[in-house]
Structure 1
Amino acid sequence: MPTNPLYQGPQGVSNPNAYWSLPHRCNHNHDLCASRRFSMDNWAKLSSGLASLNIGQNAGKLAKGLGTQVQQARERFGAVAPEDITELPQEYKDLEARVDALRAVHLNVLRITKTYESETYDYPTQIQESLSEFSTNISHTVSNFAASNLKGTSLPAPPQSPPPKSIHKTLPHALGRATSSAASTLSTGPGAQDEARLIKALNAVAAGYEKVGEARLGQDEHIRQYFLQPWQATLNTSIAVAMKARQAVKTSRLELDSAKQGLKNANPTRQEQARLEVENAEDDLVQKTEVAISMMKAVLENPEPLKNLNELIKAQLIFHSTAAEALSSVQGELEELSVAAEGDYRKSRDH
């Protein structure tokens, strides 16, 4: 990988520090230029000091890491000319943008579809039902506790109550329970024979909603298993690995530019060592960039997201088809009942 040329200022000025100290730069804002001269001089001294340290391997790694942090800080505060920042290949930058977009797609879709992880996402708030469930659970727990602790004593043990029946908390199941309860109320009340058609209709609606509710549970389970889990896995594995490889490239690029800065500020006895450090940093950046490009291509070529989206739509299609079939059957029965009821009503009005 070719190294960038050192920064060339206007009018053939090759030394950035010299350029920053030119009088024409300070004509408008003396304090700003003085601050920049101070910052550049101190960054140069710090980089030179780090480069000239004669320390062991572990401490050398520490100094290298510190040099990278210094380089990053210099870039953040605008103390490095754009020409002194190593340019990464255009292919790499294009792949970065595409992977960022793919990651955003996964995050945005996941934020919504995680709704399917909860059974109650369309369930209406039912305070009375919750209180009834709570009291039933307490009664079951207390009776079983008493029966267990009174064994072997002279006191009669109360009969153990059966465990409360679990109910599915979805909107179709709630509608099914409501219509079934209404049918039961009418069938045990006075005039049940006169309400036979309405009772039959309510029972048909309850049965239909039960089928819809079961289909919705099946849809949610399919989505959790074949969409949410692999979708999340792609985000946490291949995309995350590619992001980690990109971070390694960023660190390597900072190390290279830090080494270049060290070469510029190295004293004559350190020139050869500093030059070798730049060459090693260049080789490291080339290698890490190639690895990151390979990983990002693998992420973008992976067909898994398309397969996952297909499973999401397939699950919803099966659910809506099943729901449509169940409700169509119920509607046909209700149509017959309503036509018969309307005919009887007209006859009664004619007499």
Structure 2
Amino acid sequence: MDGWAKLQNSFGNLNIGQAGTKFAKGFNSSVQATRERLGQVPPEEITELPQEYKDLEARVDALRDAHLAMLKITKVYESESYDYPTQIQESIAELSTTIGTGIQNFAATNFKGTNLPTPPPSASAAHQHKTLPHALGRAATTAASAIQTTNAAIGNTAEDKFAKGLTEYASALNTVANARVDQDAAIQSNFLKPWQTTLNANINVAMKARHAVKTSRLELDSIKQSFKAAASNPRRQEHLRLEVENAEDDLVQKTEVAITRMKTVLESPEPIKNLNELIKAQLVFFASAAEALTTAQGEIEELSVAAEGEYRKSRDH
């Protein structure tokens, strides 16, 4: 312990100019922090911060943790394919198609006027959304088309209730899919963006103010340790006494600033407003989905009852 104090005191005795003084303060603060971490500084020699400050620290930490916990999950809304597990396979297939289309168009443009065969230019495939509702809608449309095409090929003109049901389902899923895209856009704009602003700007400002308090407190206690170690040098101790007073004033000022900034963050209505926007976007989506699916389910249930009636009737003969 005496070794640490002598080391701190030796830096204080050096005449190394303004830059050196800043370095010495930083070094002494690091030594102070290390000694505290190792339990080499008695608790009574560590400057106590106001209880109000410590309470605000705990509340800001809780607010920051809450933002991080929500952000960890809600960031999925930044990626359209979060509910679509087969997106990777489709992307690979689409990439192959895109490359093939690019080569074909290049040949069509650059082989003109040569003896080489010129393929016709190919239009790029339409963009397909990578969401589960979109995928289900496309699957239902493909399934209905396959049945209708087969019926037409064999001359079956009777209404196919299953194909009609698939078409109703595809139509409903198209509505759900569009609502999903709108929901994600609303969440990105009205929740994720301001939520991350609160986290990365507002809360971060308070955290920086707290860091300044910690640094100031360590500097103060480091100077106090040097003052204590200079007991046999009255002139040095008098100089350090003035440094202690200045450091105390600095700590008070930085603590007041940090308290103000932490209160500003904690009193802000933004987090609850952002949460409300998240729920509003989800509510609109689920309401639209429920309405579309309820209508489709009613139509399909009628088809189901009719199909079952026809089936039972055919078995009675």
TM-score bin (small chain): over 0.9
126 and 57 in structure 1: CA distance in 2 versus 1, 3 angstrom threshold: closer
Return the match for 1:91 from 46, 52, 55. 52
* Aligned twin of 1:333: 299
Alignment of 1:72-151 (within 5 A): 72-125=33-86, 129-130=90-91, 132-151=93-112
Return the match for 2:249 from 283, 302, 306. 283
Larger Rg: 1
Letter in 1 for 2:3: N
Higher alpha-carbon deviation: 122-131 or 307-316: 122-131
Higher relative contact order (CA 8 A, sep 6+): 2
Alignment of 1:1-351 (within 5 A): 40-125=1-86, 129-130=90-91, 132-189=93-150, 190=154, 192-194=156-158, 196-266=160-230, 267-351=233-317
Q: Tell me the TM-score normalized by structure 2.
A: 0.94
Report the number of matched residues. 312
Letter in 2 for 1:309: L
Letter in 1 for 2:247: A
The CA deviation at 1:349 is: 2.1
Cα distance in 1, alignment partners of residues 64 and 177 from structure 2: 34
The CA deviation at 1:165 is: 1.3
Cα distance in 1, alignment partners of residues 275 and 59 from structure 2: 19
Letter in 1 for 2:259: I
The CA deviation at 1:64 is: 1.4
The CA deviation at 1:346 is: 2.6
The CA deviation at 1:129 is: 4.3
The CA deviation at 1:181 is: 0.5
The CA deviation at 1:127 is: 7.2
Structure 2 stretches lacking a partner, 5+ long: none
The CA deviation at 1:145 is: 1.1
Cα distance in 1, alignment partners of residues 237 and 167 from structure 2: 91
Higher alpha-carbon deviation: 196-205 or 153-162: 153-162
55 and 131 in structure 1: CA distance in 2 versus 1, 3 angstrom threshold: closer
Cα distance in 2, alignment partners of residues 103 and 145 from structure 1: 53
3-state SS of paired residue (1:237)? helix
3-state SS of paired residue (1:110)? helix
The CA deviation at 1:154 is: 5.0
Q: Is 1:186–1:192's contact at 8 Å kept on the other side of the alignment?
A: no
Aligned-pair identity in percent equals 65
Letter in 2 for 1:206: A
The CA deviation at 1:184 is: 0.6
3-state SS of paired residue (2:81)? coil
Q: Is 2:112–2:118's contact at 8 Å kept on the other side of the alignment?
A: yes
Q: Is 1:51–1:274's contact at 8 Å kept on the other side of the alignment?
A: no
The CA deviation at 1:302 is: 0.6
245 and 49 in structure 1: CA distance in 2 versus 1, 3 angstrom threshold: same
152 and 191 in structure 1: CA distance in 2 versus 1, 3 angstrom threshold: closer
Q: Is 1:123–1:170's contact at 8 Å kept on the other side of the alignment?
A: yes
3-state SS of paired residue (2:312)? helix
The CA deviation at 1:195 is: 5.5
Cα distance in 2, alignment partners of residues 64 and 134 from structure 1: 58
Cα distance in 2, alignment partners of residues 231 and 299 from structure 1: 12
Q: Is 1:222–1:315's contact at 8 Å kept on the other side of the alignment?
A: yes
Q: Tell me the TM-score normalized by structure 1.
A: 0.85
Structure 1 stretches lacking a partner, 5+ long: 1-39
Cα distance in 1, alignment partners of residues 196 and 93 from structure 2: 38
Q: Is 1:186–1:195's contact at 8 Å kept on the other side of the alignment?
A: no
Cα distance in 2, alignment partners of residues 192 and 328 from structure 1: 30
Q: Is 2:81–2:87's contact at 8 Å kept on the other side of the alignment?
A: no
The CA deviation at 1:150 is: 1.6
